[in-house]
Structure 1
Amino acid sequence: MACKQETGTLSEIQGKQIPIDTSLAITDSIASYIAPYKNRIDQVLDSTLAYAPKPLLLNDGERTSSMGNLMADIVLEQAAPIFNARSGKTLDFVVLNAGGVRSIISEGNVSARNAYEVMPFENYIDVVELNGSATRELINFVAKASRRHPVAGIEIVTNADGSLESVNIGGQPFDEGRNYYVASTDYLINGGPSVGFFNEFESRTQTDYLLRNAIIDYLKKVDTLEAMADDRIKQLK
């Protein structure tokens, strides 16, 4: 009997739902213990870092948005010097995904808590090197997308049928004969939900810079947030 091995069979699982609501009593000892930490976190998160004279929205333009443009512009400004220091190369442009911008910024004081609302994920900024063909594929994907994918450092104009009319990168016409360095999030580069963003790339440079931290650092150095839904992506009628 001692050497006999029997395999148990699961016959039933029982469970019940426990609602988390105001009927649950606060445990004073736990509340008192965490109070100093909570107060300090609230103090840090709610301190004013900048001011927004008007709301920054997700749907205030035909093909772009003021909130998306701000996010992409922040990535371009904050990540470019890090990428240059690590690679000796120049960052050309930025492409993010519309679903990665999770909230608006309302008119008034802007805090670190707003940065957590806009970017609640632990996404890092990475830079990939794309050859001309892959860059064109990426541009076509963004140009034809029904959603407002944020970009910076690039201007895309399409015809009424969605075909490319013109593309300028860093103020210069797109050159399919060269490689480009594109910043995005590690989530998108790793595959993410948006197949078509980065199907292939020549090289990858990690910045070790959280996108949320880039937002917070940007808020700390500016007094007033200025962003608008412009024509960096435009479709001709």
Structure 2
Amino acid sequence: MKLNIKHFVIFITVLFVSCKQPDNTITTINGKRLLISDTIEAVDSIDKFIAPYKEHINDVLDKPIAYNPKTISKYDKGYNTAIGNLMADIVLEQSNPVFNKRTGKNIDFVLLNHGGIRAIISEGNVTTRTAYEIMPFENKVVVIELTSAKVKELVEYLQKSKKAHPVSGIELVLNNDYSVKKFLINGKLPEEHKTYNVATSDYLASGGDNMNFFKEPVNNTPLDYLIRNEIIDYFKKIDTIKTTADNRFIKL
């Protein structure tokens, strides 16, 4: 009898252990750093496979589509630069027909950000690759309808930022102490009870670069048009880039 009880206990113990759920918790992760350098031999079959695609892409990117007579950079002196003015003017010119067709309204002015310009435009041929270098991001144009109060906040932002943020369609003159001497929209003083349509990037429209005045607008109209594609389309329709620093945004 004692023997049978012993066997029964052993059977139950074995059954319990065998039915226990496995522990799938990860306890350790081991990794190894693999350095990628020119010491790693290329696989000829892969190189041969991608070669025609790479060649085609390079042909498209490097084909001249315009000409730039002088190197321009966002680091040029002043509160507006030739390259910044070019980008803002391109956004206004390329975006307004789309916005007008969809809404029957026009864009009043453009505001971009200084940091969004990622490269210079060198003297010489301008290519599609140039546009990718200037604007590598997938930012799209959005038209934000702002009240005059929000436009005032926008101006205050430009006063405090002390950067050459690209603008088009406005004239902003700051005194030596950064107070506003003159602010015009399309050559006119802003009206208190009027709203204004401002073209910008979707990044800035969401409050990027602390441009919080774009939040909670009267209206928000996405144009589904990449800024980079606007630049490319503009370059394709001109022969020679013509842009310069001017008096649209200056400090006395």
Same fold (TM over 0.5): yes
How far apart are 1:143 and its partner, in Å?
Answer: 2.8
Pick closer, same or farther for the CA change 1:134–1:82 going to 2, 3 Å. Answer: same
TM-score (norm 2): 0.89
Q: Secondary structure at the match of 1:214?
A: helix
**What residue is the counterpart of 1:28 in the other structure?**
44
**What residue is the counterpart of 1:169 in the other structure?**
185
User: Any unmatched runs of 5+ in structure 2?
Assistant: 1-16
Match of 2:145 among 109, 114, 129: 129
Q: Spell out, residue by residue over 1:114-155, the C-alpha distance to the aligned partner (whole angstroms, 9 max, x if none).
A: 000000011100101001100111121123212211101111
Match of 1:69 among 59, 66, 85: 85
Partners of 1:47 and 1:112 within 8 A in 2? yes
Please list, as runs of the form range in 1=range in 2, the aligned pairs for 1:1-237 lying within 5 A after superposition: 1=17, 4-236=20-252
Aligned partner letter, 2:86: L
Paired with 2:49 and 2:126, the residues of 1 have a C-alpha distance of 29
TM-score (norm 1): 0.94
How far apart are 1:230 and its partner, in Å?
Answer: 1.8
Q: Spell out, residue by residue over 1:180-219, the C-alpha distance to the aligned partner (whole angstroms, 9 max, x if none).
A: 0000011111232334351331001111101000000000
Pick closer, same or farther for the CA change 1:12–1:143 going to 2, 3 Å. Answer: same
The percent of aligned pairs where both chains have the same amino acid is: 48
How far apart are 1:8 and its partner, in Å?
Answer: 4.1
Partners of 1:61 and 1:229 within 8 A in 2? no
Q: How many residues align?
A: 236
Paired with 2:213 and 2:80, the residues of 1 have a C-alpha distance of 17
Pick closer, same or farther for the CA change 1:161–1:200 going to 2, 3 Å. Answer: farther
Partners of 1:97 and 1:149 within 8 A in 2? yes
Partners of 1:49 and 1:109 within 8 A in 2? yes
Partners of 2:109 and 2:169 within 8 A in 1? yes
Paired with 2:52 and 2:183, the residues of 1 have a C-alpha distance of 53
Paired with 2:32 and 2:81, the residues of 1 have a C-alpha distance of 44
Paired with 2:44 and 2:69, the residues of 1 have a C-alpha distance of 42
User: Any unmatched runs of 5+ in structure 1?
Assistant: none
